[in-house]
Chains A and B, each alone.
Chain A
Amino acid sequence: MKTQAAASYPLGVSTRGRMLTRVGYAALYTLLIILAVTQLLPLLWLMLFSLKNNQEVFNLPPFALPSQPHWENYMNVWTSGNIGRYFFNSVLVTVISVVLTVLLASFVTFAITRMRWKGSQLVLGLFMVGLMIPVHSTLIPLFSMFLKLHLTDTPLSIILSYVAFNLPTTMMILLGFYYALPREVEEASVMDGCSVNRMFFRIVLPMTTPVMATTSIINMIYNWNEFIFVNTFISSDENKTLTVGVQNFIGQYTTDWGAIGATLMISILPILLVFLIMSDRIVEGIAAGSVKG
């Protein structure tokens, strides 16, 4: 550890120092690269076996390329199961929840940070305590409430749960941004005879687009991957999202490794694509969302 830390601050004046620094750097890079490889290798293996047939999976070494890529694995799982349906449900539930969460959180955050009213701190406190509450401790009553309201097995049950549980995190990311907005903007718009609604929709909301984009992506990743609510509330295949659908689909294909690999690849590709395009925003958002807690 000592040499590692030393190496990150090259002060090397003497030749011996420089040698040490160079060795230190090599060691550091090796460590960092080994870690990166460990993070990627399982996924590389998944990609490889999604393109193999069973014979190749079982007889070739794990990281060998298939003799020819079996793209038909992807075609088969897409056409034989409900993957398309699950995919559509995931998109639907994710988009609606993200839009609702970010809009509602923006309303509340604006009211708490910019408007004057008694109880604003109490309300903020209620939302922030919500951050610490495990989903599991609400699951049984939520299930029986939804059952009574005939909401089980409907997309609405999961959308409501996603929005409620994502509001606190989303607000936490928005708060810092809203506190930092200059007062002059409000003063000027009030002088011009602007109503609060107009100020919010025409001036404040557009100003917060960058942070809204960040929270949307964080919300998207969470909703796309969510498991326990869908697994508990949704019973029919028709309403399942990709995460839970994939789980059941794989249950029927315990032996066809190529099909399993292709199914898993289909379920993770959208997130990987979004990450490739927007990785900076995602990284910033995750960092902002957790450090401020």
Chain B
Amino acid sequence: MEKVMSNKIVIALYVLPSLLLLLTVIYVPIVLTAYYGLNQWNGIGSMTFVGLDNYQRLFTDTAFWQSAWHSLLLALFSGVSLIGYLVIAMILSGKIKGANLLRKIYLIPMLLSSVAIAQLWLKIYHPTNGVLNSLLTSVGVHNPPEWLANPSLVLPALFIPIIWQYAGFYILIYYAGLKNIPETLVEAARIDGASAWQIATRIKLPLLREVINVTIILSIVGSLKYFDLIYVMTDGGPNGASEVMASYMYHQAFRSFDFGYGSATAFALLFICLVATWLIRKATASSDTIQYS
């Protein structure tokens, strides 16, 4: 038994192909990104080593910090909206008829491609023929705004479809977590005379802590690296008003052909995501683990 299950050749055959793929497609590129960031390079010609110049430039580049600020705003916005999803999942996990159908409906936008969602919302926001402004005009608004062309409206206008896309995902995660809580615990509390509010805050929330931590990380890190919808809908415009870190990196590398600076930005993005994960883990780490199964 021991001998069969520790057959070196079989282990190598089973593990090495995937491991090599992981290393060459994910880990080697990360090291290269950090290295490219130390060079001046247009992507095709030869590289010139410039040391920390690109990273220094990053620190004084107001356009980059503006994009980082926008990413942070998105992260805060999605973080706060998690509270709403939690409330909805709590309601849904109660004795509600049709809960199954509802959570499936909520999930539908998440299954669609970002391009389809982006194109759909571009049409919704269309200044003259979009469904939003048509409705506004029909209730008597005379000059409805051009949502995506207005620098002060463009960010909120982009956040709404992003929220729309992911709402069902987080509701589903919370719902699954709530369904994992043994019914007996809730039942016992109820017999002891706990109110529904007490059951929700004293029993369900603490037991859901791990799940909540995971969703906070997913939503904040997901927001920091968010790209697709913004790239398709506004491409960072008008005039940088909706640029986020990932789109800024993409523009530097693949449009300005400044691969060195783009790499420095990409590395900063990775660094910020990892630091954010670490900070959230630290902030939410619990000294006492709750066990209920």
Can you spell out 5 A-B residue pairs with CB atoms less than 8 angstroms apart? A39-B105, A42-B120, A141-B36, A190-B1, A291-B211
Smallest Cβ distance from B215 to chain A, in angstroms?
8
A244 adjacent to B87 (CB under 8 Å): no
Q: B33 contacts A138, CB within 8 Å?
A: yes
* Residue pair A6, B197 in contact (C-beta under 8 Å): yes
Q: Which of B51-59, B259-267, B282-290 contacts A (4 or more CB under 8 A)?
A: B259-267
Residues of chain A touching chain B, judged by Cβ–Cβ distance below 8 Å, are 1-2, 4-11, 28-29, 31-33, 35-36, 38-40, 42-43, 45-46, 49, 57-58, 61-63, 104-105, 107-108, 110-112, 114-117, 123, 126-127, 130, 132-145, 160-161, 163-165, 167-168, 186-187, 190, 195-197, 200, 221, 224-225, 227-228, 232, 242-244, 246-247, 250, 257, 260, 264, 267-268, 271-272, 275, 279, 282-283, 286-288, 290-291, 293
Query: For residue A290, which residues in chain B have a CB less than 8 angstroms away from its CB?
Result: 169, 173, 214-215, 218
CB distance from B173 to the nearest CB of A (A): 5
Q: Tell me which residues across on chain B come within 8 A of A33, comparing CB atoms.
A: 102
Residues of A with C-beta under 8 A to B19:
108, 123, 126
Cβ contacts under 8 Å, A186 to chain B: 1, 5
Is the beta-carbon distance between A5 and B200 smaller than 8 angstroms?
A: yes
Asked whether B11 lies within 8 Å of A111 as measured between CB atoms, the reply is yes
CA A20 to CA B115, docked complex, whole Å:
45
Hey, which chain A residues are within 8 Å of B129, CB to CB?
Answer: 57-58, 257
Residue of A nearest to B31 (CB): A141
Q: How far is the CB of A178 from chain B (nearest CB, A)?
A: 12
Chain B nearest CB: distance from A181 CB in Å? 13
A167 with B32: CB separation less than 8 A: no
| Closest CB in chain B relative to A44 CB, distance in Å | 10
The closest CB in chain A to the CB of B103 belongs to A283
Confirm or deny: B176 has a beta carbon within 8 angstroms of a beta carbon on chain A.
yes
Which residue of the partner chain B has the closest CB to A134?
B225
A32 touches B254 (CB 8 A): no
Q: Which residues in A have their C-beta under 8 angstroms from that of B188?
A: none
Give the B interface residue count (CB, 8 A).
102
Minimum C-beta distance from A273 to chain B (A): 11
Mask, B94-138, CB within 8 Å of A = 1, is 111000001111111101111110011101100001010011001
Q: What's the least CB distance linking B52 to chain A, in Å?
A: 18
Mask of B180-213 contacts with A, CB within 8 angstroms, 1/0 = 1000000000100001110110000000000100
**Residues from chain B with Cβ under 8 Å of A132 in the complex:** 221, 273-274, 277
Complex: how many Å from CA A46 to CA B32?
A: 43
Q: Which residues of B contact A11 (CB under 8 A)?
A: 190
Would A36 and B102 count as touching, CB distance under 8 A? yes
Chain B 16-54 against A: per-residue CB contact (8 Å), 1 yes, 0 no?
Answer: 011101111111111011001000000100000000000
Find out whether the CB atom of A40 lies under 8 angstroms from the CB atom of B105: yes
Highest count of chain B CB atoms <10 Å: which of A40, A138, A143:
A138
Rounded to whole angstroms, the CA-CA distance of A112 and B18 in the bound complex is 12
User: Which residues of A sit under 8 angstroms from B33, Cβ to Cβ?
Assistant: 137-138, 140-141
> Contacts A250-B119, A290-B218; is A136 near B106 (CB within 8 Å)?
no
Residues of B within 8 A of A36 (CB): 102, 105-106
